[in-house]
């Protein structure tokens, strides 16, 4: 049975947010103890039973990113070294045929360069930009999804919304005209192919007979809509209008189409799973938008409400008990965010704990207490 969260609850306090950050930081040690030889992909519910991937797929960069964020908070040299070591294990992903490399290397490498001036991380980010730029298709005016990381045999003819924010953030690190032109062309193509006039996003579009045809119902998939919002907020930071107007429309569509703070995974499946991780991504977009528009406080407030709903929900395990006899269990079970709707099998989706969901939630929490800026994620 789902817990419904409306907007009339009191926002989380500074102390409550700091407590959530603290238990998540502690929980990372337990995850790390289980996956020394690979990257953690997902763990069902609160089971602490992680599926480990040798390469990490598109998720691997978030494990490195989570450690970069931890090091940024703790100021620990050992945490920074851990993040750097994980970052270097991403090198094989450079040649992967997927635009989702931008997710891997923006979060997994560029944050190390930005926050710590980590030279190997900077090199990886630069290599990834070169590889992604080389994948640009002048015929379709975009960097296609690609055949790897789940793209499949039709991946060369697909454009996808998930990676737009990461691609913009990654390419922003280089000021060359070539990267700027590729990025602007890709962004405009994606908006034209996937975003309707109300700000609702199709997750993908297929290139056929000289133009892109959107797939599915616009705005129905909550995480796809949230990724679109985040991408537009990054485009607004980079170029201003008309992207700022697009970003506001997409955020308004989210707010008007989802009556609950923790939304359904798919609006066209009212009996399906919820996906709180979509609210995290949507909140990150709103926190960025809040700094760009005159009425920005409304977006900051709504984002704060969504994050509050998450950390007070069944999908986040805070500190379970202060009883000394239960200390070990409290440490192991605290700080789990199991609100990511994820395809654990080809025909099955489940709510799981993921490193990308937890990293993005902790980043949103850090923004709310001014540890990082919204445009750094």
pTM of the predicted structure, to 2 decimals: 0.95
Residue 123 is predicted with a pLDDT of: 98
User: What's residue 325's pLDDT?
Assistant: 39
* Alpha-carbon dihedral sign for residues 359, 361, 363, 366: negative
Q: What share of the chain is helix, strand, coil (3-state, %, to 5)?
A: 55, 10, 30
In this prediction, residue 197 carries a pLDDT of 94
- For residue 197, give the 3-state DSSP assignment: coil
Only one residue has tokens 């201003």, namely 240
What is the distance between the alpha carbons of residues 294 and 296, in angstroms, rounded to a whole number?
A: 5
Residue 324, pLDDT score: 40
CB 117, CB 173: distance < 8 Å: no
Domain spans in the chain, listed from the N-terminal domain onward: 14-376
Per residue in 290-336, pLDDT tens? 999 999 999 999 999 999 999 999 999 986 544 443 444 445 689 99
Radius of gyration for the chain, computed over Cα atoms and rounded to the nearest angstrom: 19
Q: Using an 8 Å Cβ cutoff, are 101 and 132 in contact?
A: yes
Write down the CATH number for the domain with range 14-376: 1.50.10.10
Tell me how far apart the alpha carbons of residues 323 and 79 are, in angstroms, rounded to a whole number: 29
* DSSP conformational letter for 108: I
Residue 98 to residue 55: CA distance in whole angstroms:
14
Distance separating alpha carbons of residues 186 and 45, to the nearest angstrom = 37
HSE, CB side, 13 Å, CA atoms: give it for residue 267: 21
| Low-confidence residues in the chain, pLDDT < 70 | 1-8, 319-332
Spell out the long-range contacts of 186-190 with Cβ–Cβ below 8 A and sequence spacing 24 or more: 186/136, 186/141, 186/142, 186/143, 187/231, 187/235, 187/243, 188/141, 189/140, 189/141, 189/142, 189/159, 190/142, 190/159, 190/161, 190/164, 190/231
Q: What are the residues facing 43 on neighbouring strands?
A: 353
Q: Which is nearest to 230 in space by CA: 177, 303, 149, 173?
A: 303
Q: In the prediction, which pLDDT does 332 show?
A: 62
Residues whose CB is less than 8 angstroms from the CB of residue 368 and which lie 6 or more positions away in sequence, other chains included: 12, 17, 287, 303, 304, 307
Give pLDDT, residue 2. 47
> Tell me, what's the pLDDT at 318?
86
pLDDT (0 to 100) of residue 8: 58
Partner residues linked to 40 by β-bridges = 52
Per-residue model confidence (pLDDT) at position 329: 45
């Amino acid at each position: 049975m789902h817990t419904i969260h409306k907007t009339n609850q009191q926002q989380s306090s500074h102390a409550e947010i700091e407590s959530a950050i603290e238990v998540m930081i502690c929980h990372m040690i337990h995850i790390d103890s289980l996956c020394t030889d690979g990257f953690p992909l997902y763990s069902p519910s609160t089971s602490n039973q992680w599926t480990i991937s040798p390469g990490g797929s598109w998720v691997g960069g978030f494990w490195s990113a989570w450690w970069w964020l931890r090091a940024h908070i703790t100021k620990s040299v050992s945490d920074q070294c851990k993040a750097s070591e994980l970052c270097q294990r991403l090198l094989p992903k450079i040649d992967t045929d997927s635009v989702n490399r931008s997710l891997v290397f923006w979060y997994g490498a560029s944050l190390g360069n930005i926050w710590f001036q980590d030279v190997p991380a900077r090199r990886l980010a630069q290599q990834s930009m070169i590889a992604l730029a080389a994948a640009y298709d002048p015929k379709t005016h975009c960097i296609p999804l690609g055949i790897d990381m789940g793209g499949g045999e039709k991946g060369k003819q697909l454009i996808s919304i998930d990676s737009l924010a990461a691609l913009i953030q990654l390419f922003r690190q280089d000021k060359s005209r070539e990267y700027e032109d590729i990025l602007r062309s890709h962004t405009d193509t994606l908006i034209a192919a996937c975003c309707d006039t109300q700000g609702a996003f199709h997750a993908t579009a297929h290139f056929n007979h000289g133009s892109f045809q959107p797939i599915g119902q616009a705005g129905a998939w909550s995480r796809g809509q949230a990724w679109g919002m985040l991408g537009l907020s990054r485009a607004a930071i980079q170029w201003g209008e008309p992207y700022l107007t697009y970003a506001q429309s997409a955020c308004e569509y989210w707010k008007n189409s989802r009556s609950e703070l923790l939304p359904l995974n798919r609006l066209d499946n009212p009996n399906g799973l919820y996906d709180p991780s979509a609210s995290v991504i949507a909140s990150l977009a709103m926190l960025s938008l809040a700094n760009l528009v005159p009425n920005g406080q409304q977006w900051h407030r709504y984002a704060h409400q969504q994050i509050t709903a998450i950390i007070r929900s069944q999908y986040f395990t805070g500190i379970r008990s202060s009883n000394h006899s239960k200390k070990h269990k409290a440490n192991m079970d605290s700080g789990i965010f199991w609100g990511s709707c994820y395809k654990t099998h080809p025909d099955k989706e489940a709510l799981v704990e993921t490193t990308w969901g937890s990293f993005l939630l902790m980043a949103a929490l850090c923004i709310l207490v001014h540890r990082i800026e919204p445009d750094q994620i």
